[in-house]
Amino acid sequence: MNILGISCHYHDASACVFQDGQVAAAAQEERFNRRKHCPDFPIQAINYCLQAANATSLDVDTIAFYEKPYLKLQRVLLDHVRNWPFSYRNFMANMPDWLAHRLAIPVDMAGKLGFNGKFLFIPHHLSHASSAFLVSPFDEAAILTLDGIGEWAAAAWGTGRGSRIEIAREMRYPNSLGLLYSAVTAYLGFEVNSGEGKVMALSDFGEPTPEILDRFRRIVKAREDGSFYLDESYFGFIRGKTMHGRKFSGLFGPPRIPGDEISQRHKDIAAGLQRITEDIIVAAARHVQSQTGMKRLCLAGGVALNCVANSRLLRDTPFEELFIQPAAGDAGAALGAAAYVAHSIKGEPRSEAMVTARLGPEFGENRIRRCLANCGVEFRKLEKNELVKYAAGQIAAGRVVGWFQGRMEFGPRALGGRSILADARAAGMKDYLNSTVKHREPFRPYGVCIMAEETANYFDFKASSPFMLLVAQARPEVREKIPSALHVDGSSRLQTITGESDPLLYSLLAEFRDRTGIPMFINTSFNDHGEPIVCTPDDAYACFTKTALDTLVLGDYVVEKPGRPQVSP
């Protein structure tokens, strides 16, 4: 049985196919059309997922959409009426898209896919909850979802048992932690639905002073159970040109213009926002644990990509285990919708837990060789053991390596399929990557991939982090050894690697450890600033040529920049 899940018409459009109760494929549309965070109907992602499942639209039993459009439209219309006439501009800007696309999902399916079968519309936060629990390793767990906004709900909690999910409580718009974070992201001069991670990174350079926290507490009235009241008068969600209103600027000062210098005031505001966010998430999780008595938590929604807050859940709540799938935001809701139909409605038994994000396209030797030949570049092929020694030698010598292997990752993190790898020992590597390779803000940190069994020797961390969604503090005695792996507070985002999870990357880490004594290196996404992660060999080569990458590894093939000295294995 084939179930097709779809998420689109907001941001990070994606598709997923469940085949006989297992995830066959999942991918975001942005990777194919090269438009970052693309919201469009994901026709290319759908075509890929069906091909990966060796199926066509005629083989699809049910299409599951990640929310209920008519219920969402009800909320949108009522909100516009409530704020009229100040919402006029927003109404005129958004209604054409609603009429042309968001209410025409079945028509799009029939016209673009030739599908005339069954459609099911799964509530947004139920899709998120399903994406977290139904692919988790847990038979029973508490569930917490936090994002911007679905139909009405902005957060929800419940329980999962077997293939059954029960949502116990919801917190509804406009009281949204995701919208609060996005509004401050825009206020600080970053792009909404893209720059939230930048704000999280910036927060470590600031101080959540009592004055800043007091200002936030004027607009966010938090309760002990993690619920809160958001004072709408400080925001312009549909009333003006910006999500942060004039009253917000009157409280915090003038907003930062994109591209302007980042002052200490901006850093302190980011720190205050992060502290308030973490405190609310921790309070909500404690409440959920007290109500359910469970020791395992599944987390989903865009807020679950805040890896600093995630780590506090393990440290500051009674939960002992935490599961977050790699595409926790709206992209992953396509997976959740399909999983809910497959397991909770159709009754297909849950299979193995999701242990890899490698659900996207892969490209064989012929495609890679053809790409390089067409580009007219010198290249050579290495056997696997030679390849591992060669790449480890390149990284150890301070060269930056584009690493393209196997299936592409699902979600915003590069996890060894489409990665840029570099030496964390080099003190200037973080700055070099930001300024010369990735062309991004100088304050942004990098995560590392590390051999799982070595993690506790370098970090105060005892859990696993296969999807790079948790951070940990480096042990004081090793910090001088890995300066470019660490943020200003001495922490790093971790991807723990085992021989089973990624044999090739694990072998590369082992070879690098044998050469340097360090069982980790920097792992960041294979893309330039403002672009999606690369998908095809052609994408990878294009990124290689226009950035300061030194070495490109495509499968078993390697390419070096002209004039760069070769490093022998």
What would the pLDDT profile of 260-300 be if each residue is shown by its tens digit? 999 999 999 999 999 999 999 999 999 999 999 999 999 99
pLDDT tens for each residue of 314-352:
999 999 999 999 999 999 999 999 999 999 999 999 988
Look up tokens 């005892």; give the residue. 462
Look up tokens 């969600």; give the residue. 237
Q: Is the distance from CB of 516 to CB of 524 less than 8 angstroms? A: no
Q: Is the distance from CB of 424 to CB of 483 less than 8 angstroms? A: yes
Taking alpha carbons only, the member of 386, 380, 382 closest to residue 507 is 386
Q: Is the distance from CB of 400 to CB of 547 less than 8 angstroms? A: no
pLDDT surpasses 50 at 65 = yes
Using 50, 70 and 90 to split pLDDT, how confident is the model at 98? Answer: confident
Look at residue 496 and give its three-state secondary structure.
strand
Q: Is the distance from CB of 99 to CB of 39 less than 8 angstroms? A: no
Q: Would 2-135+325-345 and 177-323 be classified into the same CATH topology? A: yes
Using 50, 70 and 90 to split pLDDT, how confident is the model at 563? Answer: low
Taking alpha carbons only, the member of 7, 5, 1, 51 closest to residue 21 is 1
Q: Are strands 22-28 and 14-19 parallel, antiparallel or unpaired?
A: antiparallel
The terminus-to-terminus CA distance of the chain in angstroms comes to 48
Q: Are strands 401-404 and 491-497 parallel, antiparallel or unpaired?
A: unpaired
Percent of the chain with pLDDT over 90: 87
Write out the two tokens for 115: 């599908």
Q: What is the CATH number of domain 365-560?
A: 3.90.870.20
Using 50, 70 and 90 to split pLDDT, how confident is the model at 94? Answer: confident
The secondary element (H helix, E strand) that includes residue 368 is helix 365-375
pLDDT (0 to 100) of residue 564? 55
Q: Domain 177-323 belongs to what architecture?
A: 2-Layer Sandwich (3.30)
Look up tokens 């943020």; give the residue. 487
Q: What is the CATH number of domain 2-135+325-345?
A: 3.30.420.40
3-state secondary structure 260-321: CCCCHHHHHHHHHHHHHHHHHHHHHHHHHHHHHCCCEEEEECHHHHCHHHHHHHHHHCCCCE
pLDDT (0 to 100) of residue 351? 85
Taking alpha carbons only, the member of 480, 479, 476, 469 closest to residue 200 is 469
**Least confident segment among 111-125, 141-155, 279-293, 468-482:** 111-125
Separation between Cα atoms, residue 543 and residue 534, nearest integer Å: 8
Chain-wide mean pLDDT for the chain?
Answer: 94
Question: How many angstroms separate the Cα of 97 from the Cα of each of 70, 129, 329?
Answer: 14, 27, 22
Longest dimension (CA), the chain: 69
pLDDT tens for each residue of 501-559:
999 999 999 999 999 999 999 999 999 999 999 999 999 999 999 999 999 999 999 99
Whether pTM exceeds 0.75: yes
pLDDT (0 to 100) of residue 566? 44
Look at residue 206 and give its three-state secondary structure.
coil
pLDDT (0 to 100) of residue 167? 97
pLDDT (0 to 100) of residue 172? 95
Query: What angle (nearest 5°) sits at the alpha carbon of residue 281, between those of residues 318 and 344?
Result: 80
**Least confident segment among 100-114, 133-147, 157-171, 467-481:** 100-114
Listed by start position, the domains of the chain span 2-135+325-345, 177-323, 365-560
Identity of the amino acid at 259: G
pLDDT (0 to 100) of residue 433? 96
